[in-house]
Amino acid sequence: MPAASPSTSLTLADLPRLLQARVLDVLGGDAIAERLTVLGFAPGTEVHFARRAPFRGPLIVDVRGAQICLRVQEARRIRVEPIEATK
Amino acid sequence: MSHAPAVVQAAPKARPRIALAGSPNCGKTTLFNALTGLRGKTGNYPGVTVDRRVGRVPAPTGDSDIIDLPGLYSLTAMAEDEAVALRVLRGEIGERQPDGVVFVADATTLARSLPLLAELLVLNLPVLVVLTMIDELKARGGDLDLMRLQRALGVQVLGVVGNRGLGLDDLRVKLGAPLAWKKPSTSNGALPAPSAGDAAARFAWADAALAQATRATLRPSTLTRRIDAVLLHPVLGLVIFILFCATFFQAIFSWAAPAMDAMSGGMDALADWLLATLPPGILTELLADGIVRGVGAVIVFVPQIALLFALILLCEASGYMARAAFVVDRAMGWFGLEGRCFIALLSSYACAVPGVLATRSIPSPRDRLATILVAPFATCSARLPVYALLIAAVIPPTSVLGWFTMQGLTLFGLYLLGGLTAVVFAALFKRGLLRGQSLPFYLELPPYRWPSLQSIALQTWRRLSSFLKDAGRVILLGAIVLWFLLNFPRTEAPPQATREQQRQVVIENSYAAHLGRSLDPVFAPMGFDWRINVGLIGSFAARELMVTTLAQVYASPQTDDADATQQSLSEILRTPEPATGKPPLSVPSALALMVFYMYALLCLSTVAAVKRETGGYKWPLFMLVYMFGLAWVAGYATYWIAS
């Protein structure tokens, strides 16, 4: 599957439309980006959308066997590529 | 050569010190509690607010001491607790470097936690891997070959079920002999751990090791899915959350009430018994009135604080706390806070002390401090007797809009205003004083689990006893100082005076009265006279003592029945005095006093708790000053508007 080019790329904040995706990288190159990687969003990791709170509230994703809740602000830093749904 | 055995034998005489490292929610604390039981102790690392838990682990082959490190995802030392963990592991704080590290990991989320092991292996200490929740892994259809995992990781792997004690005997023995653990090695086919650099390499290493050991991948927890479908539902979840808060609140007030009443009755009985039994004199009075009644006024809140601790721990261990934080996060975000801050603020409505301690679950130090700085604005239960007194004194019981009364609405307004002030000030602090780079918001939703009651009981006990130990000294000292101020210098009353009149004579001439009079320039703009000032001084030990102090200043008859005492005092406060023709407390003054009382930090225990949690006097002093300033300005504004 070709990696999405940075200009058209999707982020974890778009996950509700995708349901499943694979992490490409975490944008920013700062301590927050490093932290998000350490928390499980390393490149190549598969993520699944679980649910989101109303009013642009935080979203919950499944990553590496854990349910993780992130705010939109952080989710926007995580670039993803879609995975075709298998079912 | 012949000396060598003696040297080798002398060295291990000191008990091995083993550090427990692992990510949050990995079952580390449950394991620590199961291993140490009542021998575990909680303290603070010097200068930082991170919990320090140490405890002795007994084993037939040799005891060991274990140190429970703060939960971490990485040793990159970004947050305070990670820095502390790293320094403990390097032997920079604590007595000496640990002799070994136990890496604790939840067997069901290894893919996420195993990268931390790569960082631990680099430290070149003996490492033992302990996998918890092995039972849950099997129940969810997962199967892990521990032998293969051991080979891939290059260190020994042990599976346990912490809350049922399975595998713990074996672990206890192993903890006593860390030198027998295999040092991390890459021989025998172990995958070399990435020594430095990026997290991605560590994840790749972890994935490769797991790929070798996994025989069957576990299914997602269907029970958790089903419960979450309800508890995290946009509408239903919110309804349940509100019900949860209401129940939480109700539980703290009504379940703790019998124990609190018994404590307060017991303290009074003890003081009376001491007065009757010991030879009369100043020392007896100091003991009975100063120490037993003074400290007792704070001790009365211990059942409530304990219940609050236990409820918070129960919600955390079962997994609901994270869901509650998710539900409320959006709303807290408007004030620059996050979901976890809400629980601390909610607890503060019962008592600011457990509220301040509950901020420990907030990972961001700035959010945590902002929450601590505003927690005392929440209307705690010790304020209630004072509000009840003042409302009964000046607010008419007129009914409004059918079933509401002015009195009820005033009380509701005070509760509401306290909460609003708390969140608004938190937002101000986050934008101003506590500005800076923040950690990303991140919340893990652990699967729902039956909490280990033993672990919760132990943690409640440890939190409570360490609070009493730390705050106890401040409270004892405060109670003695206040007793002295209110009772000295001794003044003889006319012999025919009643007991109430005698008390009034003493207090009118006391140092506290002098102090109250000299505070006149500060409080006169709000229409308080020196007697109200004495009441405010008296309330510093514990807020509800204001009622007792005022009753003494006004020579109001005091009985064992608190309601009757309050009624006669509120009668005095609204009846015009013969000397001036005006009541002691005018309506504008009473309103100003309520507002002042809502904002000022008149609570020694909270000061002590904040000092403990922030590691110094800087923040509690800051709180005293800014809250007093706010209280004065808001009180004066209220007086001015009401006049």
As beta bridge partners, residue B470 has: none
Counting residues of chain B whose pLDDT is more than 90, the rounded percentage is 22
pLDDT in tens, B556-610: 766 666 677 777 788 888 888 777 778 888 889 899 999 999 999 988 889 888 9
Counted across chains A and B, CB pairs separated by less than 8 A come out at 107
Amino acid letter, residue B376: P
- In order of B272, B542, B626, the CA distances from B374 in angstroms are 38, 18, 11
- pLDDT band of residue B183 (cuts 50, 70, 90) is low
The pLDDT of residue B5 = 43
What whole-number distance in Å separates Cα of residue A37 and Cα of residue A29? 10
* pTM exceeding 0.90: no
Are residues A67 and B445, on separate chains, in Cβ contact within 8 Å?
yes
Are residues A38 and B443, on separate chains, in Cβ contact within 8 Å?
no
What whole-number distance in Å separates Cα of residue B373 and Cα of residue B357? 12
Interface test with B, best of A67, A68, A74, A78 (most B CBs within 10 A): A67
**Range with the poorest average pLDDT among B84-93, B135-144, B175-184, B313-322:** B175-184
| Residue of B548, B561, B405 whose CA lies nearest to B482 | B548
The pLDDT of residue B422 = 94
Answer whether residue B517 shows pLDDT above 60.
yes
| Residue of B104, B102, B74 whose CA lies nearest to B86 | B74
Within an 8 Å CB–CB cutoff, is residue B334 touching chain A?
no
Within an 8 Å CB–CB cutoff, is residue B111 touching chain A?
yes
| Residue of A45, A59, A65 whose CA lies nearest to B221 | A65
The pLDDT of residue B639 = 92
B47/B637: higher pLDDT: B637
pLDDT in tens, B359-408: 887 888 888 899 999 999 998 888 888 888 888 888 888 887 777 888 88
Are residues A64 and B109, on separate chains, in Cβ contact within 8 Å?
yes
The most confident of the ranges B3-17, B257-271, B429-443, B561-575 is B257-271
Q: Beta-strand (E) ranges in B180-247?
A: 214-216
Give the residue-averaged pLDDT of B165-178: 87
- Chain A residues lying within 8 Å of B329, measured CB to CB: 53, 57-58, 69, 71
- pLDDT band of residue B633 (cuts 50, 70, 90) is very high
Are residues A74 and B441, on separate chains, in Cβ contact within 8 Å?
yes
Within an 8 Å CB–CB cutoff, is residue B77 touching chain A?
no
Within an 8 Å CB–CB cutoff, is residue B489 touching chain A?
no
Interface test with A, best of B203, B219, B239 (most A CBs within 10 A): B203
What whole-number distance in Å separates Cα of residue B62 and Cα of residue B161? 22
- pLDDT band of residue B238 (cuts 50, 70, 90) is very high
pLDDT in tens, A1-53: 444 444 457 898 888 887 899 999 998 878 788 888 888 898 889 999 988 88
Angle between helices B384-394 and B587-599 (to 10 degrees): 170
The pLDDT of residue B482 = 82
Give the residue-averaged pLDDT of B99-109: 93
pLDDT in tens, B195-231: 766 788 899 999 999 999 888 888 888 889 899 999 9
Residue in B73, B110, B111 nearest the CB of A38 = B73
The pLDDT of residue B7 = 39
The pLDDT mean for chain B works out to: 84
- pLDDT band of residue B2 (cuts 50, 70, 90) is very low
The pLDDT of residue A39 = 87
- Give me the torsion for CA of B551, B554, B557, B560, rounded to 10°: 10
For residue B581 the two structure tokens come to: 């023709």
The pLDDT of residue B576 = 83
Within an 8 Å CB–CB cutoff, is residue B236 touching chain A?
no
Answer whether residue A61 shows pLDDT above 60.
yes
Interface test with A, best of B109, B140, B202 (most A CBs within 10 A): B109
The continuous run of DSSP H or E covering B500 comes out as helix B499-508
Vertex B603 angle, CA B601 and B609, to 5°? 100
Give the residue-averaged pLDDT of B335-361: 86
- pLDDT band of residue B292 (cuts 50, 70, 90) is confident
The pLDDT of residue B551 = 78
Give the residue-averaged pLDDT of B22-27: 86
Three-class secondary structure assignment of B397-420: CCEECCCEEHHHHHHHHHHHHHHH
Are residues B78 and A31, on separate chains, in Cβ contact within 8 Å?
yes
Give the residue-averaged pLDDT of B296-324: 86
Are residues B444 and A67, on separate chains, in Cβ contact within 8 Å?
yes
The pLDDT of residue B13 = 61
Q: How many CB atoms lie within 10 A of CB B258?
A: 10
